[in-house]
Amino acid sequence: MEEEEVEVVARRKKPFPLTPRDDVDDESSKPAGKKKRGRVELRRIEDRTSRQVRFSKRRSGLFKKAHELSVLCDARVALVVFSPAGRLHEFASAGSSVDEIFDQYWDLANTTVDLNIEARDSRVNCSIQVNHKQLLN
């Protein structure tokens, strides 16, 4: 029985090192058949068909991410994309429309601008009052 245990121990593979080694190339240490995704070079795709295919795939991925953000975070999301051919593609969170979300955006944007103007006017008035008091003294 002891001989068999020794034999089994001798057949075991050595464990992988826990720290990277300088003499081993990163690519050669990976299992065969596994490709590492590289970064796509960001430049215009010249071939029209390839560009349209890439657009369609990327658009689908973008809409999927918008949907995930909407569901996971209970966020109202609107997304508008125009294809290279000029076609409109839009996404809106469930229970909303792109128009509703854009209306909410414009209302908030206008309110923010109004608040910024009021705050600036208030600061200017305070500054004028301080300068006026300094001139009188």
d(CA 45, CA 51): 5
Same domain, 61 and 78: yes
Model confidence pLDDT, tens digit, residues 55-107: 999 999 999 999 999 999 999 999 999 998 899 999 999 999 999 999 999 88
Long-range contacts (CB closer than 8 Å, 24 or more residues apart) made by 115-123: none
Is residue 120 a part of any domain in this protein?
yes
d(CA 85, CA 18): 52
Same domain, 85 and 122: no
**CATH code (residue 77):** 3.40.1810.10
d(CA 82, CA 49): 16
Same domain, 91 and 53: yes
- For 89, the domain range is 45-95
Q: Who wins on pLDDT, 108 or 91?
A: 91
Give the CA distances from residue 107 to residues 74, 90, 121, 131, in Å, rounded to whole numbers and listed in that order: 20, 20, 21, 36
Same domain, 51 and 90: yes
**Number of domains composing the chain:** 2
Averaged over 119-124, what is the pLDDT?
78
